[in-house]
Structure formats: structure tokens, C-alpha cells
Structure 1
């Protein structure tokens, strides 16, 4: 029987969170550009990098949807529905980044945790 892993919110150090909160938001809000900004400006801030990686995965998911959208009919439908889902996840990411807790964005958070940057 496979073990299920529950999503666990981690609380980072409060000073680190306060210093990285705006960068965490930018990491999710600007996706790939935000990831690069955080990587260059706040690489040592674990909180900001946590959400920058989540933004990077959102960007990768969007690119995959864009490629799928090239396929006529079925690809268009999948791309539209997937884009709506990504929009919702993107907004959830903003809220989580400003919350002060490291919470994985639903669905994509597990993939972001695998990046060792």
C-alpha cells in the first residue's frame, strides 16, 4: 500500500520571512522573471527561494500548456481549462507567499520541492 504524504506548512524564521516576503511574492507573481530576480538578489533567503521555485514550476506548466494548445480542438480545450487552473494556482501562490508560511501551491508544489537550487 502506498503511503500518502500530507502537505505540511513550514514556518521559516520570522526575520528571514519578513526580509523575503516581497521577493517571495515577486517570485510567484513574475514566474520566470521573478525566479531570476530572487536567484540574483535573495538566493540565501530560503523563504524567497521556496516561492521562486514554485513560480518557476508555474512557468514550466504554462509552457507545457502552450505547447499542448498547438494541437487542434482537444489541445485547445486542454489549454483553456489548464490555463484557468494555472490562473487559480497563481493567485493561491500570491496569497501563500504573503502569508509568512511555506505552504506548497496545490498540485505543483510537489514538483517545486524537487529543485535543488
Structure 2
């Protein structure tokens, strides 16, 4: 999976900080430990993420939405900025681009109007004489 440079830098920063955090609680850091792990280096459990997220959200005015809703929102945003649907399918583990398109593309307002405008522009370009 390709990562943006910002995400990659943040993961590197986190990776460098992990050994210090582990030493503070008396754990000897291992070189091959996971980047996304509990403080003691053991793998994260999905329920741990859910509980931590719930705890953090309780301190804010943000809406209480499910992780799945975040995934759906992210896919929608990718479509809105023109990321190719195949990239979205691969990034989410969905097997076919058709499923991705069926699940997410219907929620982009103006998508059909945009497609019509692009077809119109292509027709106009094709009709122009070569000398223009």
C-alpha cells in the first residue's frame, strides 16, 4: 500500500519515540516490534482502538460515528477529489472495482452532470478543425 509522505513521516516519528516510551515503563524495546502496537509492543486489538476512540470522542463535541462510517466517508472524499476507484478498492481490501463503484460513487453529487460536461467538451474538441 502506498503511503503519503506526511503519513510516512508521522509513522517514522512514532517509530523513533516507541523505544523511549517502552523504556519508561520498564520494557526492553525489540527492533522488530510493530509500529502500530500497544505500549508494551504487543499487537493492537481492534476493540482497543474502539475503546480508545470512544474515550477520546467523549472529551469532544464531535459526532459519535462508527469506524465503518469513517471508512465510507474516506472513500467518498477520495471520489470527490478524483482518486481513481481502483486505488480505493485496493486500499480497502475490496476485490473488484465494481463493488467500490456500487458502494460509494452514488453519493457524489453532480457526478453525472460532470460526466456529461466532459463528454460535451470531448465532442467539441473533436469537432474543431485541425488548424485551430
Give the alignment's TM-score, normalised by structure 2. Answer: 0.27
* More helix, by proportion: 1
TM-score computed with the length of structure 1 as normaliser:
0.30
